[in-house]
Amino acid sequence: MASEAYEYLSESPQPNETEFLFTSMQHDLRATGKVAEIITPAFGGGCEHSNFQQALRGAMEQARQAGQVNPIVVGAIPFDLTQASCLYIPAQYQWVERSEPIHVSRETKDSPTLLNQRSIPDEQGFKKAVQHAIVNFQHSDIRKAVLSRICELEFSEPVDVQRLLASLRVQNPSGYQFRVPLSEGGELIGVSPELLLRKQGAQIESNPLAGSAKRQADPEQDRAIADRLMTSPKDQYEHHLVIDEIRRVLEPHCAELDIPDHPSLMSTSALWHLSTQIKGRLRNPELNALQLACQLHPTPAVCGYPTGQARKLINLVEPFERGLFTGIVGWCDSQGNGEWVVTIRCGIVQHKNIRLFAGAGIVEASQPDAEWNETQAKLGTMLNACGLGWINSLDTPA
């Protein structure tokens, strides 16, 4: 180790090495190899003098000494900022024009056989957790908590990651697609609809989502679902908790901050979302994208409100560690520009196994059955990519 903060690797990309991928606006960021790895937890990373920012600067400097003009850090940061980061500076990276989605056959013969599946917690356990949270709201200052679940799948053959990525792009061509090789093996893949932060010079953007409804095949029913979401007091309340917290974090940093008074609708192939497009201009353009992202993360969209108390409730009722799920994934260059999205609609692939994640925002007006159904709908994106749309009811395949 060249430092306690980061590991200097000085590696060149190897043949067939797993590539980092991040889709951004009209371009794809593709990166291979590792010059330096940053595992320092991002806790306190919003501060310029934090251990995390020192590790980031040290790794960038090593990359410059290795000949890179504008080093870039890529990877993921977990939900719990006290856990190790999964970041590195690639040996090579390039921006390429964003490719058009490629049609992917979903015929059963193209997919390996599903051998085993399980939900953690199961349906009864998740609904009990929702009830637990609602009771807690009535006796505490917590107003929202996001509860999640895991769906574990085992196949007869290794998972075809390229095929999954192609299917995800077809399902959500405007989403932020990502592929992150993990140091312990496996890959984090997904297509997030939610932008936490984009920074270019002094300009910043954020597009938080909170409040969701499953889309319908019938156009009239689908429109009715969207209209109902826009007028739902429960979903509007949940959304405004997120917006108010983001305003609290960004306002002190901004000379200008534009936050619409009311959310709009965003759609993917599976869901309608309440969405707010936030734009601002920083007082200090020298702040790097990761400083701001670490101050925003985790928002009430993936944790709850107030953040600290909601996290304690999550730790109490969720029977697993989230790891990278509901963390952030993206990039930041040495000039401070970057993009970070919320790590949702995702899974971790390891050989024949894939672990999928989904969550739902719980407020006092929540109904356990509805929240379970929301997680089912959110799992749909990744399940469809696996050729398993039928599993939304968690039935056993014929």
Region 241-247: mean pLDDT is 97
pLDDT tens, position by position, 184-214: 899 999 999 999 999 999 999 999 999 999 9
Q: How far apart are CA 244 and CA 226, in angstroms?
A: 23
Please, are residues 190 and 382 in contact by the beta-carbon 8 Å criterion?
yes
Report helix, strand or coil for 387. Answer: coil
Closest-CA residue to 166 (of 21, 270, 357): 21
Q: Tell which phi-psi region holds residue 65, choosing left (phi > 0), alpha (psi between -120 and 50) or beta.
A: alpha
Residue length, the chain?
Answer: 398
| Sign of the torsion formed by the C-alpha atoms of 102, 106, 107 and 111 | positive
Q: Which residue has the higher pLDDT, 115 or 100?
A: 115
Q: What is the dihedral of CA 382, 386, 391, 392, to 10 degrees?
A: 20
Mind giving me the DSSP string for 197-208? Answer: EEEETTEEEEE-
What is the rounded distance in angstroms from the CA atom of residue 227 to the CA atom of residue 391? 28
**Which residues are known catalytic residues?**
144, 194
Pseudo-torsion of CA 197, 234, 269, 95, nearest 10°?
A: 0
Q: pLDDT class for 102, splitting at 50, 70, 90?
A: low
Q: Taking a C-beta distance cutoff of 8 angstroms, is the pair 71, 317 a contact?
A: no
Calculate the average pLDDT of the chain: 91
Token output for 379: 């799992």
Rounded Cα gap, residues 18 and 44, in angstroms: 30
At 317-364, the pLDDT tens digits run 999 999 999 999 999 999 999 999 999 999 999 999 999 999 999 999
**Tens-place pLDDT, residues 273-285:** 999 999 999 999 9
Assess whether pLDDT exceeds 60 at residue 397. Answer: no
CB contact burial 128-157 (16+ within 10 A = b; e otherwise): ebbbebbebbeeeebbbbbbbbbbebbbee
Prior bond of 306 cis (ω within 30°): yes
Q: What is the pLDDT of residue 387?
A: 87
What's the pLDDT band for 101 if we cut at 50, 70, 90? low
Confidence of residue 390 (pLDDT cuts 50, 70, 90): low
Do 145 and 131 meet the contact criterion of CB atoms below 8 Å apart? no
